[in-house]
């Protein structure tokens, strides 16, 4: 659990990066309609949550900075008993004052009036350029005579790159739940008939352990479906002798996990499956061993391409000299994605990979990223040796950059062939 003093410290750190004469505004996420009078489960905007820990909609943060001094304001929905009967209790102004360390807390309905009273020409306005709602747009339109407009979201995303010990603890909890879910999948898959049955087993573990939700739509792809990178239909029959690519992770207390394992449908890998799986696993281990402060993510990706290309030549999937194949990007047909991405409050954290000068940001202590090499051999590709056709394999772990190297936060989720086969044989 993250304490209020950490949220306050985050706001104070952000304030240091703001222009001396500026006003900043950030809105909560809006509820999203599913159909007629039903809505999707509400999830707070990640940047808003990062600065507040506040989970209600119809809210906003305002920061007014004059020279080196700043004041912070939280705007929240007022308590309405008739509405709360249907949608649940609200904190209201008084309740929010008791929990959150803002200089002032006001009703959300007073936001426009507050802005009109605090607008000063030639200030800088900070806001989230991607946010698009009526309240947000009306506030921005009030600020026509401002000196500059700057993207607040980018500053917050940069801060989110480095995780605190409290954040890492929550990610560890999310991964402990995801570990249980993947191990359950490995043990029960020989008894199941359809992909959606396996998805249900995985997501049951998420919910049973108090995870907020899945961090993204689970991928349970059997056979050739694994060669569709974002396959989410999960409605095919599971056939004996096939592999299943399972990309599934829970979200716990707003923090994500992101894990992929590839397992045999009947508990045992065939020889051809072992050859491909061992290639991907060896590459993943090699890339993880390279991670430490100062290393560039692009260097990790380039090395993964080299290693996978060498392996595909060795197995007869690609033919020719490795350097020439890489130059001509022939490997891209079978490894089209990157080596990984930032992870935290979002499964794909918003932080950029380059700074303002377009220079790549090196890895730093406290960053969390995924490492996920893969190989995808579609059954319709005539260049692929017959024994490998229809096989898609990805292995993904969540890695914390430490002062001296890295820690694989998901190292306890089985991925060795012998361990997966051993679990698959258990009843």
Active site residue ranges: 37, 230, 247, 258, 337, 341, 348, 372, 376, 394, 396
Pairing type for strands 124-127 and 148-151 reads parallel
Give the count of beta carbons closer than 10 Å to the beta carbon of residue 98. Answer: 8
Report CA-CA distances (Å) from 91 to 43, 84, 102, 112, 115. Answer: 17, 11, 15, 21, 23
CA 280 to CA 278: how far, in whole Å?
6
Phi, psi of 75, deg, nearest 5: -110, 130
272, 366 contact by CB (below 8 A): no
C-alpha gyration radius of the chain:
24
**Residues whose CB falls within 8 Å of the CB of residue 390, separated by 6 or more in sequence, listed in order:** 223, 224, 227, 242, 377, 378, 379
Give a three-class secondary structure readout of 274-308.
HHHHHHHHHHHHHHHHHCCCCCCHHHHHHHHHHHH
- Residue 86: helix, strand or coil by DSSP? helix
The Cα 79–Cα 129 span in angstroms is 30
Q: How far is it, in rounded angstroms, from Cα 378 to Cα 386?
A: 11
């Amino acid at each position: 659990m993250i304490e209020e003093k950490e949220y306050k410290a985050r706001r104070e750190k952000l304030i240091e990066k703001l222009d001396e004469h500026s006003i900043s505004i950030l809105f909560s996420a809006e509820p999203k309609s599913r159909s007629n009078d039903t809505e999707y489960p509400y999830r707070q905007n990640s940047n808003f949550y990062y600065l507040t820990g506040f989970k209600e909609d119809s809210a906003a943060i305002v920061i007014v900075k004059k020279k080196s001094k700043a004041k912070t304001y939280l705007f929240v929905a007022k308590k309405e008993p008739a509405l709360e009967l249907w949608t649940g209790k609200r904190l209201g102004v008084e309740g929010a004052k008791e929990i959150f360390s803002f200089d002032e807390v006001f009703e959300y309905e007073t936001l426009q009036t507050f802005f009109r009273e605090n607008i000063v020409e030639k200030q800088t306005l900070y806001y989230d350029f991607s946010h698009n709602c009526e309240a947000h747009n009306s506030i921005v339109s009030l600020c026509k005579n401002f000196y500059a407009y700057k993207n607040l979201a980018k500053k917050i995303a940069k801060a989110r790159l480095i995780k605190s010990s409290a954040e890492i603890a929550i990610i560890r909890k999310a991964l402990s739940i995801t570990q249980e879910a993947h191990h359950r999948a490995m043990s029960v898959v020989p008894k199941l008939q359809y992909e959606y049955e396996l998805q249900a087993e995985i997501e049951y573990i998420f919910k049973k352990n108090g995870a907020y939700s899945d961090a993204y739509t689970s991928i349970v792809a059997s056979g050739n479906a694994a060669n569709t990178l974002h396959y989410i239909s999960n409605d095919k029959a599971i056939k004996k002798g096939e592999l299943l690519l399972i990309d599934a992770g829970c979200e716990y207390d707003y923090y994500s996990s992101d894990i992929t394992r590839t397992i045999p449908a009947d508990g045992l890998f065939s020889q051809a499956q072992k050859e491909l799986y061992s290639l991907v696993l060896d590459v993943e281990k090699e890339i993880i061993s390279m991670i430490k402060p100062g290393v560039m993510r692009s260097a990790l990706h380039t090395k993964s391409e080299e290693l996978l290309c060498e392996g595909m030549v060795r197995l007869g999937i690609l033919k020719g000299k490795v350097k020439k194949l890489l130059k001509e990007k022939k490997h891209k047909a079978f490894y089209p994605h990157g080596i990984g991405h930032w992870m935290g409050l979002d499964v794909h954290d918003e932080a950029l990979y380059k700074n303002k000068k377009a220079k790549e940001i090196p890895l730093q202590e406290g960053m969390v990223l995924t490492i996920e090499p893969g190989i995808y051999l579609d059954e319709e590709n005539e260049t692929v040796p017959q024994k490998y056709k229809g096989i898609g394999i990805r292995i993904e772990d969540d890695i914390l950059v430490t002062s001296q190297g890295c820690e694989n936060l998901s190292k306890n989720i089985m991925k060795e062939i012998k361990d997966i086969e051993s679990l698959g044989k258990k009843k």
